[in-house]
Structure 1
């Protein structure tokens, strides 16, 4: 594994959505921000990826989401990319890599790719060119103190230096927090789980 990718998503949300598993009518987990880091085995950053995405079903961001992430409507309207374009671009970034998330973000990614294709939009690249793995169960087992922590707080829970500028619920910052936690645990002798074979 000469390089690997860590990624994180921010997606539409409303008060109580997490507790209801986005089960209320019309509440879809539409991706608004994608963040990723390509790392070497020594955890140095080779490349960084970030994209804002314009949601389709719920194009108006809820105030709850904006307060949580710091992403406002004006910025998404101005800088957001069409979903199919951003998703294809990100899957291209992941091509040939082992891709780790802290949680089931690959499920949300799959939902969004499915919705774009159902709208008749072409999404370049696909999931088969990368190997996705949720490492949260492994990380929580190795460091039980992280069990209730979201990805953006891992650095804090583990007592590590702040991993750069930004704040939790910003996708790239969350990736840096994730990377800091993995590097710390690796330094203590933990071996990263092996992802499924990449074709």
Structure 2
């Protein structure tokens, strides 16, 4: 069975960090949560991946981040994996797959992998073992109503049922919203970009 992966990241943030491109001193886009789904060519979910990650440079989550995502300090301290472990497991989940993001999450992933390696830590799998693709330009072109929606609101932009319990800015919820949009577009006859199962 041919499959592909969609993924979403939640990473450290502060008020106006997006507008300033994380340009203030000490601000880094450290991954705190990874969500991913393995999908069939028909965009049906066959496997989920989710993990919390303990940030290293800014281990104390900002109130802004917690308010946005609902991810609390206690959960990250208790359940968060070290970045090398979490990233290695995620890259293993993606191995030999086309991996789609709705935006530039692969850039943030690459930044975090670079920081892991700069600390002398090893990753179990390589970024090069998968084909990463930002599908947002394609999706916005075939469904213009999605142009202003983030991944967690794609289901709303397309008038679809809520994909699962939860809300946007939770990585796994955002993945299910993303997958629901792809299923809808597939059912309407849209062909996913080159590299995705047909």
* Fold similarity call, TM over 0.5: yes
1:51 has 2:63 as partner? no
Which runs of 5 or more structure 1 residues have no equivalent in the other structure?
none
Kept in 2: contact 1:97–1:131 (CA 8 A): yes
2:193 is matched with 193
**Cα deviation, residue 52, structure 1:** 0.1
**Cα deviation, residue 120, structure 1:** 0.5
Kept in 2: contact 1:6–1:179 (CA 8 A): yes
Q: Distance in 2 between matches of 1:101 and 1:110?
A: 13
Matched residue SS, 1:50: strand
Q: Distance in 2 between matches of 1:155 and 1:52?
A: 24
Q: Aligned pair count? A: 196
Kept in 2: contact 1:106–1:132 (CA 8 A): yes
1:142 is matched with 142
Q: Report the aligned-residue RMSD.
A: 1.0
Q: What pairs with 1:179-190 in structure 2 (closer than 5 Å)?
A: 179-190=179-190
Matched residue SS, 1:87: helix
Q: What pairs with 1:62-73 in structure 2 (closer than 5 Å)?
A: 62-73=62-73
Q: Distance in 2 between matches of 1:84 and 1:110?
A: 12
1:7 is matched with 7
Matched residue SS, 1:49: strand
Q: Distance in 2 between matches of 1:39 and 1:72?
A: 29
* TM norm structure 1: 0.97
1:24 is matched with 24
Q: Distance in 1 between matches of 2:11 and 2:189?
A: 34
2:60 is matched with 60
1:91 is matched with 91
**Cα deviation, residue 45, structure 1:** 1.4
**Cα deviation, residue 195, structure 1:** 3.2
